[in-house]
Amino acid sequence: MSESPNTDSTAISVSSEPIHAADVQLAQARISSVIAPTPLQYCPRLSEELGVEAYLKREDLQDVRSYKIRGAYNAISQLSAEERAAGIVAASAGNHAQGVAYACKQLGIQGRIYVPAKTPKQKRDRILVHGGDQVELVVTGASFDEAAAAARADAAETGAVVVEPFDARDTIVGQGTVAAEILSQLTSMGKSAHTVVVPVGGGGLLAGVLSYFADMAPRTAIVGVEPSGAASLRAALDNHGPITLDEADGFVDGAAVKRTGDLTYEIIERNLGRLHLLDVSEGAVCTEMLDLYQSEGIIAEPAGALSVAGLRELHLTPGEVVVCIISGGNNDVLRYGEVMERSLVHRGLKHYFLVNFPQEPGQLRNFLENILGPDDDITRFEYLKRNNRETGAALVGLELSAAADLQPLLERMEVSRIDCQQLHPGTPEYSFLI
């Protein structure tokens, strides 16, 4: 890891002034004419499976399908006439950009929005739909951090105002309105939250939720959940300050941030006594995305399923009230093939092998009859080199009916004359498969 200074001199309202519930309540009043409260939905499946009273805060049902509209609108609506005339720039993996675009159109402000090349096409298209003629979309860089650097360079050159996706006070205060709604909705049901589970990328939502509950419900435990491939907050806490990750897995694109924010870190560190931080694998996120879709009909993006994936890692008290924030639903349907693949690998059901068949006839039949189990299914078969139909090296993908079937399969491969090499996740060879 290497340190990376934050040079956000043109950003909106980067301040270390503490955030209180009153600030969040003012933001609620400010955005309420444009942004309606989202449902707090009881989830029978998770409640029964985990023995708790589980609720889902449905931020995927926002007009822009993400909570990010809250912070963006709260920040932009407070710009002076001079700042509005100068225009704004923003960088985003997609969701903040949609919030900014929506606010630009509503308030008649010109904006340029920078997104990294890995931003799904669905999110790019929605940015232009929400912003219309008020926004220009610029695709640049391989990561959010590179797009953010380009946006700041633009602001330095043109005098435009940077609307930060997470590391600014007005943005954080706006995101905190999620917490205010949760508390109000539970109170109206005569309930209080024991645990609130929050997805974590740059830390803006977590900082806002922590700040509000610190004032209004300090006994509520807050759980932050990061993707394992981009755990920038954990790295910051271990380092006693924000630090830039050398690499970040971009699959959970809404939370794939290499460096947590300076202000968000300050707020989070101040509230460590009520925070439990964990990370979950991208495969676990995929499994929860599929479960949410199949059981609840919720189309969650990867970051939107982080909280539910983290819920399964917690030791919860039977009967306690737990809230998971479904942070966004901007998922491209074309990604579901990869989502399914990663889920199968995570559950131990999908495996890949390099199979070197002996140079003699009948070995493919031998593999099918004597190595494969009765319920094993070949999902991929590609000859890499062959002299005829039944000889040569092949890439073989197998789907098992149960994870426990792997060891017997490996034992049959071991005693066979056919040379079988398993490919393991995390290796360079495996990266070409998924």
Task: Calculate the alpha carbon distances from 96 to 188, 205, 321, 328 in Å.
Answer: 30, 12, 29, 11
Task: Tell me the per-residue pLDDT of 415-428, one tens digit each, with 9 for 90 and over.
Answer: 998 999 999 987 87
What is the pLDDT averaged over residues 226-247? 96
How high does pLDDT run on average in the chain?
Answer: 92
DSSP assignment of 179-246 = HHHHHHHHHHTT---SEEEEE-SSSHHHHHHHHHHHHH-TTSEEEEEEEGGG-HHHHHHHHTS--B-S
pLDDT of residue 346 exceeding 60, the answer is yes
pLDDT of residue 214 exceeding 90, the answer is yes
pLDDT of residue 2 exceeding 60, the answer is no
Domain definitions of the chain by residue range: 21-68+171-341, 69-170, 348-432
**pLDDT recorded at residue 433:** 78
Residues in the chain: 434
Local confidence band at 386 (pLDDT 50, 70, 90 cut-offs): low
What is the pLDDT averaged over residues 224-237? 97
Report the distance separating Cα 160 and Cα 208, nearest Å: 26
What is the pLDDT averaged over residues 318-338? 93
Local confidence band at 4 (pLDDT 50, 70, 90 cut-offs): very low
Task: Calculate the alpha carbon distances from 75 to 20, 167, 266 in Å.
Answer: 16, 12, 20
pLDDT of residue 200 exceeding 60, the answer is yes
| Phi and psi at residue 298, to the nearest 5° | -100, 120
Report the distance separating Cα 234 and Cα 48, nearest Å: 31
Task: Tell me the per-residue pLDDT of 102-156, one tens digit each, with 9 for 90 and over.
Answer: 999 999 999 999 999 988 888 899 999 999 999 999 999 988 889 999 999 999 9
Residue whose C-alpha is closest to residue 66's, from 102, 42, 30: 102
Report the distance separating Cα 275 and Cα 197, nearest Å: 10
Residue whose C-alpha is closest to residue 147's, from 130, 124, 176, 129: 124
**pLDDT recorded at residue 133:** 95
| CATH tag for 348-432 (out of 3.40.50.10070, 3.30.70.260, 3.30.230.10, 3.50.30.60) | 3.30.70.260
Specify the CATH architecture of the domain 69-170.
3-Layer(aba) Sandwich (3.40)
pLDDT of residue 313 exceeding 90, the answer is yes
* Exposure b/e, 309-320, CB count within 10 A at least 16 = b: bbbeebebeeee
Which residues on neighbouring strands pair with residue 390, listed in sequence order? none
253 vs 232: which has the higher pLDDT: 232
Catalytically active residues are 68, 327
Percent of the chain clearing pLDDT 70 (strictly above): 94
Specify the CATH architecture of the domain 21-68+171-341.
3-Layer(aba) Sandwich (3.40)
Whether the domain at 21-68+171-341 and the domain at 69-170 fall into the same CATH topology: yes
| Phi and psi at residue 275, to the nearest 5° | -110, 135
pTM, entire model: 0.88
Question: How many alpha carbons fall within 13 Å on the CB side of residue 103?
Answer: 31
Local confidence band at 5 (pLDDT 50, 70, 90 cut-offs): very low
**pLDDT recorded at residue 385:** 64
CB 167 within 8 A of CB 13: no
pLDDT of residue 342 exceeding 90, the answer is yes
What is the pLDDT averaged over residues 27-35? 95
pLDDT of residue 14 exceeding 60, the answer is no
431 vs 198: which has the higher pLDDT: 198
